Structure 1
Amino acid sequence: MTEPHRTPPGPPRRATLGLLRKLKNDRLALMSQARAEYGDAVRVVIGPKTLYIFNHPDHAKRVLADNAANYHKGIGYIESKRALGDGLLTSEGELWRKQRRTIQPVFQHKRIAAQADVIVEEAAKLVARLGAAQGGTPVDVLEEVTGLTLGVLGRTLLDADLGAYESIGHSFEAVQDQAMFDMETMGMVPAWVPHAKQRQFRTARADLTRIVELLVAERTANPRPAADDVLSRLITSTAEETDPRVAQARMRDELITLLLAGHETTASTIGWTLFLVNQHPEVGEALHAEAVEVLGDRRPGYPDLAKFRYTAMVLNEVMRLFPPVWILTRKAVDADEVGGFHVPAGSDVLICPYTLHRHPDFWTEPDRFDPERFDPDRTTNRPRYAYIPFGAGPRFCVGNHLGLMEATFVIAMLFRDLRLATVAGHTVTPEPMLSLRLGGGLPVTVQHR
């Protein structure tokens, strides 16, 4: 006799309205409470969707790595296609593999090492701008850092100065707002509805298309000999398309996805680092001491990266508490079994690094900020998939090394030269968008050390 399928526990159907409100207003609480009330495997019915939320390293390994071919991008990514198109974040199958093959070489270690000087130059400009603001007048350091990360991506991936396009930041914001709106409403609001976000999105989409066309026209008119940046590789790759409209759409989608996802995640990590370290002054002093020991008065170079051991521990702990990729959604192609529970074909499956990184079985005092937990001597017995700030499996974040190098050098140079104090009374709220942002920004006052 065939044994019945095991179904994960979860809230009753009558809880749908409350769950919809939480999906819109407090997605992190929805995930945290589901795990706390029902355990590592939870089945949640929200309107027409049935979500399977898994919160154990073995579950993450099964879905993201061991049986990754059975799981395509899921809820949120599907609805976000209208905003992000078919870029690396949302595409599937052969298109995704082609995009990955096109872009992967740009992120090889040798080429990333060659970009260290660009990052250091932009970080030095940031330190100078913040240093000029000392004297008690608050400055939103998150806004400054976001500008830095976008500028670094422009120079390292496109060999272009994105500072010439003043509207690009606002356009990215509108595109991200639309992506999250589509996720919250599960794609059920038609594009023709005259909603303010949708009007702003259409304007932003047209602006980003215009910027991409200008970047491509400039590069085509002034090709770089033996250039191996993303823009040059995409121009070559999309030249194979017979329909110029398809080529243009691919170029736009891939560049928007890379720039939006790339600069947002790194800016969030740096922002959360500044916020958490401000609450733990002893960590800030240790960061300062390491930066002085490693660098003295000089600027860092790529060989210095491995010397920032404590800085790496701090960044790892920041990304544990506030992972840049806070949720990973998938849709099961065929039926599967995860952690002993049946997952029907077509089901929406969620792996949430935010809650996985706070699992009490794998993290002592999981809500406490403790960089020392990433001392190499304390990490030997931790399951590999208990910590996945950049995802896992075939879709592991392609730009993680560039982002970590950027965050390391920026933090080292900031803490060596400046003291940044959060403005008293300012409240920071985690804002789970495409990355886990600091809602409300981060106003600080600046002093030279």
Structure 2
Amino acid sequence: MATTTRAEAPALAGNPLLGSLLDLKSDSLGTFLRAQREQGDVVRITAGPPGLRATVYCVFSAEGVQQVLAGQSANFRKDNAFYQEIRESFGNGLLTSQDEDYLRQRRLVQPLFTKRRVDGYAAAVAAEVTALTEEWQEDAAFTVDVLEGMTRLALRAVARVLFGTDVDTAVEVVERCFPEVGAYVSRRGYSPLKTPRDWPTPGNRRAAAVHQALYEVCDRIIADRRESGRAPGDGQDLLTLLAEAESAEDAGFSATELREQVLVFLVAGHETTATSLGFALHLLGLHPEVQKRAHEEVDRVLAGRTPGAADLDALPYVTQVLKEAMRLFPAAPAIGRRAVAATEIDGVTVPAGADVIVAPWVTHRHPAYWEDPERFDPDRFTPEAEAARPRYAWFPFGGGPRACIGQHFSMLESVIALAMLLQKYEFEAVDTEVPVTPAITLQAAGPARCRLRPRTT
């Protein structure tokens, strides 16, 4: 990477009056890609009219990303406008909390996400995949939107793990409310001028209603748990374990804190996995030769039986397919921070107080790490290929001390679900391209339909 020291980062050319505001509003991911191609690995982007203009420093190299997320993570905090909007929508849970609040929450939650504990959720995931394939079961070919189907599957799976038997209540509310909340947070997070949330505008009133519906369903389920008289250790769903969580240093979660953790786990736990699975299926539908290899591995390893946690290591090609789908379609395509102190990154000075973005969408396509980066090729993720790349050339789960605590659960769920679906079906893509847009997570702006053919083997 470049080592020439500059007083400030090179700027992406924009409109004299509005900077890059219109470009970011119409296609922020394409704008970030263009910034890297035209200006390099640390780029300054300005947006907004004079007096309301905002400046963001985009960091695209793997080494720079590592510096922001890991090596100097204490200098890059979740203090930007976008995280504040998430905080106001979902509370101060593990995703948005900082400092001692975050350390306390992490200490309480960490024991619930050990490999042994997460492996115990495999049966619940498999049960939801089985239920989906029973709904889909057809004698002849049929067409589904795989992103829509995987969203519902991932939502039901994480709701089952979180809430146990209260799946249907949670799923109906979350399915209805989350798209509205995500769009609301995204609009406000990227807007240079926004009205206070308590002003009775139509958008604020709609958002308040869906927020209240989410809070009420979580509060009702939490209250039911606490009134059930269940002895500690009797329940194995995550909500019961969270309600009982405490450590030698910390008291347990209050009802409000518990609600905030549940909402964050629902956001991170269903939308991210749904994105990975849905795009993996769509990409397989576009690449029959890759799908054939995945079918062969699933048939050889599982021989028709339901996979469990112990099978993950024996399904390396299925895992590679998922990792390559997460490279091309990372669920968190851009991650924001704010610099505490002036810092040099890749020979460029990022000033104190600057908003900073690292973008998996761009780094995952960086030509220094990925040959022909738009091509779908799971062999990029053989052990040898992974070892030859910088650690942060691929970071769909973030990294450093704030890396996603649920990444093992996401991979467990994704591998089991993809293997089971490949046991049942062949996939042929109907839509060759799927437009996407960033919200809290990456969202499809159109259908991802595949024709499914039940397999006879």
Q: Give the TM-score normalised by the residue count of structure 1.
A: 0.92
Q: CA deviation at 1:343?
A: 1.5
Do residues 124 (structure 1) and 130 (structure 2) align?
yes
Q: Which residue of 2 aligns with 1:26?
A: 27
Do residues 66 (structure 1) and 74 (structure 2) align?
no
Q: CA deviation at 1:125?
A: 1.5
Q: CA deviation at 1:288?
A: 0.9
Q: Find the aligned partners of 1:302 and 1:234 in 2 and give their Cα distance.
A: 22
Query: Secondary structure at 1:76's aligned position in 2?
Result: helix
| Residue 208 of structure 1, aligned match among 214, 224, 236 | 214
**Paired amino acid for 2:376:** F
Q: CA deviation at 1:279?
A: 0.9
Q: Which residue of 2 aligns with 1:330?
A: 337
Q: Which residue of 2 aligns with 1:284?
A: 291
1:249-260 to 2 correspondences below 5 Å: 249-260=256-267
1:49-448 to 2 correspondences below 5 Å: 49-73=54-78, 74-132=80-138, 135=140, 137-165=142-170, 166-186=172-192, 188-222=194-228, 223-226=230-233, 227=235, 229-236=237-244, 247-423=254-430, 427-448=433-454
The 3 A distance-change label for structure 1 pair 16 and 329 is farther
Q: Deviations over 1:14-38 (max 9, x none)?
A: 4463621222221111111111111
The 3 A distance-change label for structure 1 pair 401 and 167 is same
The 3 A distance-change label for structure 1 pair 342 and 160 is farther
Q: Deviations over 1:225-266 (max 9, x none)?
A: 31465423443569xxxxxxx944323322111101210000
- Kept after mapping to 1: 8 A contact 2:162/2:262: no
Q: How many residues align?
A: 439
The 3 A distance-change label for structure 1 pair 15 and 389 is farther
Q: Deviations over 1:392-419 (max 9, x none)?
A: 1001011111111111111111112112
The 3 A distance-change label for structure 1 pair 340 and 5 is same
Q: CA deviation at 1:127?
A: 1.8
**Paired amino acid for 2:413:** E
**Paired amino acid for 1:45:** T
- Kept after mapping to 1: 8 A contact 2:282/2:450: no
The 3 A distance-change label for structure 1 pair 210 and 79 is closer
- Kept after mapping to 1: 8 A contact 2:21/2:46: no
Q: Find the aligned partners of 1:236 and 1:444 in 2 and give their Cα distance.
A: 43
- Between 38-47 and 195-204, report the one with greater CA deviation: 195-204
- Between 26-35 and 5-14, report the one with greater CA deviation: 5-14
- Kept after mapping to 1: 8 A contact 2:436/2:446: no
The CA RMSD measured in Å over matched residues stands at 2.3
Query: Secondary structure at 1:197's aligned position in 2?
Result: helix
- Kept after mapping to 1: 8 A contact 2:169/2:217: no
Query: Secondary structure at 1:397's aligned position in 2?
Result: coil
Q: Deviations over 1:70-121 (max 9, x none)?
A: 1111342123322222122222111111221222211100001111111111
- Between 117-126 and 182-191, report the one with greater CA deviation: 182-191
> Unpaired segments of 5 or more residues in structure 1?
239-245
Q: Find the aligned partners of 2:113 and 2:180 in 1 and give their Cα distance.
A: 28
- Kept after mapping to 1: 8 A contact 2:285/2:428: yes
Q: Deviations over 1:144-199 (max 9, x none)?
A: 22121112112223334321242221112221121111112146232244444322
Percent identity among equivalent residues?
34
Q: Which residue of 2 aligns with 1:241?
A: none
The 3 A distance-change label for structure 1 pair 380 and 426 is closer
Q: Find the aligned partners of 2:367 and 2:123 in 1 and give their Cα distance.
A: 41
